[in-house]
Amino acid sequence: MPTRVVLKNLTRQHGTPLFVVDHDVLRRNYAEFKRYLPRVQAYYAVKANPAPEIVRTFYEAGASFDVASIGEFRLVYENIKDLPAKERQDYIWDKIIYANPIKDRATLEELDRYKPLVTYDNLAEIGKVRKHAPHAGLALRIRVPNTGSMVELSSKFGCAPGEAADLIAAAFDAGLVVEGLCFHVGSQCTNFDNFVQALNMSAQVLEEAAGRGCKLELLDIGGGFPAPYDGSVSRFRELARVLNAEFSRLFPKDLEILAEPGRFLVATAATLVAEVIGKADRDGKRCYYLNDGIYHTFSGVLFDHCQYHIKAFKKGSTQLCAVFGPTCDALDTICQSEPLPELNLGDLVYSEHIGAYSHASSTWFNGFPPAKVVHINR
């Protein structure tokens, strides 16, 4: 992260709240992913942080993209529009996956001319794709264990593995092409056994489909790669070691493997700086109020089940404090027990590792604007 001196200088220039994105960290995270999973092509999950500057940095680093809405698709398209038309089409065909199993008709009709890879997990979607995007390639999403992941996804998406071969055959029978299989172990997955079970389930499905004459060419292992929010999270290389061993054991060398890292690539690349705008003692506890909160950069506390720590620039003995956002809603509670020194109105605080699923969900609720964003390259 930028040094405290750099953060303070930036706030003098831009004010607060300020969301600072360090693109050197983005590039380091991408390089780490590629170093330890050399067989896997990384498709950045744009929803984690859709800032165009971030998309452009990953594009220049060689990343592909996972989009889950037509808006995200257009965002990526705008950042590759400098390519000649033929190369742009090839890029979309090979470097973008529309990884939302449920798509509306208008989206499919807009996507069709690009011949993209899209996911599905049910019969109704097959009929919809056949009618509105017959040139798309398909990847079937199966339901896999999400045990222990911070954000569970298996209750909303994924077919039962026992239904997979039938859904693959149904898509081929409809005149579509199923290119591969995909899954998601849940966001911030620190239980590596989820990946092991998912890969073994995928191998069984691929084998069954091949036995029915439907040979698939790719496997998308989704996201869930844990960001190192603190020392309790195992190092990425430990997960990579597990994954690489399973790849070698379960799959032929010509199977294309891709993944959709989002949080892992951007979480540690951003820092929020906020200002203390209020101070009170309630029921024996010190309470501080910031000019950023749950409806803004700290939205991940609510939507992402993530607890960000608040740190002070000043030093001193600490006490457990409650920290609130600026809106007139009691839901706007950032934390109830953060150790902080004695702070005064106008003092600055900061929160690290807040790059994923945070500013992306900011609103203008109660008339308070989102934090200003500054991108730096050191």
Mean pLDDT on 180-184: 96
User: How far is residue 376's CA from residue 378's CA, in Å, rounded to a whole number?
Assistant: 6
pLDDT band at 334 (very low <50, low <70, confident <90, very high): very high
Q: What letter does residue 291 receive in the DSSP assignment?
A: S
In the prediction, which pLDDT does 279 show?
A: 97
Residue recorded with tokens 């979480």: 267
Give the active site residues: 328
CA-based nearest residue to 271, from 323, 225, 313? 313
Residues 6+ positions from 175 with CB-CB distance below 8 Å:
130, 134
Dihedral sign for Cα 302, 71, 48, 377, please: negative
- Is the whole-model pTM more than 0.85? yes
Pairing of strands 40-45, 18-22: unpaired
Mean pLDDT on 148-165: 85
Mean pLDDT on 158-169: 96
Identify whether 145 is preceded by a cis peptide bond (ω within 30 of 0).
no
User: How far is residue 359's CA from residue 370's CA, in Å, rounded to a whole number?
Assistant: 7
| Residue 269, SS3 per DSSP | helix
In the prediction, which pLDDT does 152 show?
A: 67
Percent helix, strand, coil in the chain (nearest 5)?
40, 25, 40
Which range (77-81, 84-88, 226-230, 246-250) has the least confidence?
84-88
Burial (Cβ within 10 Å: 0-12, 13-18, ≥19) of residue 378: exposed
CB 353 within 8 A of CB 227: yes
User: How far is residue 37's CA from residue 236's CA, in Å, rounded to a whole number?
Assistant: 10
CB 123 within 8 A of CB 164: no
| Residue 61 scores a pLDDT above 90 | yes
User: How far is residue 126's CA from residue 253's CA, in Å, rounded to a whole number?
Assistant: 29
User: How far is residue 260's CA from residue 263's CA, in Å, rounded to a whole number?
Assistant: 10
Backbone angles phi, psi at 339, to 5 degrees: -75, 115
The secondary structure of 225-242 as a DSSP string is PPP-SSTTSPPHHHHHHH
Domains for the chain: give ranges and CATH numbers.
4-19+268-376 (2.40.37.10), 24-266 (3.20.20.10)
**pLDDT tens-digit profile of 281-316?**
999 999 999 999 999 999 999 988 899 999 999 999
CA-based nearest residue to 176, from 248, 97, 107, 123? 123
User: How far is residue 214's CA from residue 211's CA, in Å, rounded to a whole number?
Assistant: 7
Terminal C-alpha separation, the chain: 10
Mean pLDDT on 92-111: 94
**Can you say how many angstroms the Cα of residue 333 is from the centroid of all Cα atoms in its chain?**
24
In the prediction, which pLDDT does 88 show?
A: 79
In the prediction, which pLDDT does 187 show?
A: 86
Mean residue pLDDT of the chain comes to: 94
User: How far is residue 260's CA from residue 221's CA, in Å, rounded to a whole number?
Assistant: 7
In the prediction, which pLDDT does 203 show?
A: 97
**pLDDT tens-digit profile of 185-212?**
988 888 899 999 999 999 999 999 999 9
